[in-house]
Amino acid sequence: MSHLEVTQDNFDSQVLKSDLPVLVDFWAPWCGPCKALGPVMDKVAEEYEGKIIVAKLNVDDAPVVASQYSIMSIPSLLLFVKGKVVAQIVGLTTKDKIKEKIDSFI
């Protein structure tokens, strides 16, 4: 299961207008904790396939979107439901903590 790669150009259509909740991983290739979170996000994407969309947004490539959502440190996970941020997790976290957040909104 691969992540949906979102960019500044498709953020609106892929995330804000999505019928399914979207969990966006704000990351950068130089960020160690972001890389460590990768396999965790893969497992989340697998477990919730068809229920939510797991997306990755490279903050270096999409600084406008990152600043729009006040991303100060990465990794940051934002859960969007019907275009609104309903949950946020900042920093390296566990699959259980991510699932807890998702489960309270789906």
Domain CATH for 83:
3.40.30.10
pLDDT > 70: percent of the chain: 98
Domain count for the chain = 1
CA distance 31 to 26: 11
Residue pLDDT, tens place only, 37-46: 999 999 999 9
Question: 36 an active-site residue?
Answer: no
Choice among 6, 22, 24, 34 that is catalytic: 34
Domain that holds residue 8: 4-103
Residue 1 confidence (pLDDT): 46
Q: Is the pLDDT of residue 2 over 80?
A: no
Residue 106 confidence (pLDDT): 86
Looking at every residue in the chain, the average pLDDT score rounds to 95
CA distance 10 to 20: 16
Question: 6 an active-site residue?
Answer: no
